[in-house]
């Protein structure tokens, strides 16, 4: 795992200068590494947990500790998704949250999870085989493959498998899970 601040490079576009973090231009699958590392402690302050899991037994132990009873696997690649690959990768990259904790374990390949920091800036987390990430309910995030266009991941669920993204917007900003995340994790001493 490697985590760092997203680069926010300004680029010239046909409509003028813009920042990549706000109005994405270019290829989301590039590293966009600012050169400023983010520690596991910083990620933990956002409720984001990282685990290196060299064996499936390690994954099973974490799943049992957190009450995860179900799982499935997804392979994100042009070979497995065919004509819908580009559309799917774009949908995964739309900023969203989930009302449940999200656990992903990388079985093969590589991918990026971007999460919002306390000041609403992006932190990019590069995950490779044997990496696990746990995102808290209510955190805004997005996902993309890297330039290899291939990742195979295990998705873990407490109940029936589901993946319901709530795309960022005014109505989702007041979602109870978002408010709880802000109150308990991002700013536990402030009133939201």
CA distance 108 to 145: 12
Q: Which CATH superfamily is domain 28-186 in?
A: Jelly Rolls (2.60.120.10)
Q: Residue 130 to residues 4, 31, 52, 82, 120: CA-CA distances in angstroms?
A: 19, 19, 6, 26, 28
What are the residues whose beta carbons fall under 8 Å from the beta carbon of 184, sequence distance 6 or more?
A: none
Per residue in 19-38, pLDDT tens? Answer: 444 444 568 999 999 999 99
Residue boundaries of the structural domains of the chain: 28-186
Q: Who's near 49: CB < 8 A, 6+ residues apart?
A: 43, 133, 134
User: Residues in the chain with pLDDT < 70?
Assistant: 10-26, 189-192
Separation CA 192–CA 184 (nearest Å) = 10
pTM value surpassing 0.85: yes
Residue 98 assigned to a binding site: yes
Residue 61's contacts (CB-CB under 8 Å, 6 or more residues apart) are none
pLDDT of amino acid 13: 41
Does the annotation flag 141 for ligand binding?
Answer: yes
pLDDT at 16: 44
Tokens in use for 97? 């949250």
96 is in an annotated binding site: yes
């Amino acid at each position: 795992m490697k985590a760092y601040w997203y680069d926010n490079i300004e680029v010239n576009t046909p409509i003028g200068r813009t920042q990549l973090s706000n109005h994405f231009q270019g290829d989301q699958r590039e590293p966009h590494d600012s050169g400023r590392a983010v520690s596991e402690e910083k990620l933990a302050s956002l409720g984001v947990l990282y685990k290196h899991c060299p064996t499936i037994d390690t994954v099973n132990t974490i799943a049992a500790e957190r009450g995860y009873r179900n799982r499935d696997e997804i392979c994100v690649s042009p070979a497995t998704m065919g004509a819908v690959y580009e559309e799917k990768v774009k949908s995964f990259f739309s900023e969203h949250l989930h009302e449940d904790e999200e656990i992903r374990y990388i079985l093969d390949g590589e991918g990026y999870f971007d999460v919002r920091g306390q000041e609403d800036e992006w932190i990019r987390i590069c995950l490779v085989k044997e990496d696990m990430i746990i995102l808290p309910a209510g955190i805004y995030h997005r996902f993309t493959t890297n330039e290899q266009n291939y990742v195979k991941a295990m998705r873990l669920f407490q109940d029936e498998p589901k993946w319901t993204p709530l795309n960022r917007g005014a109505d989702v900003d007041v979602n109870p899970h978002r408010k709880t995340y802000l109150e308990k994790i991002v700013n536990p001493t402030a009133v939201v």
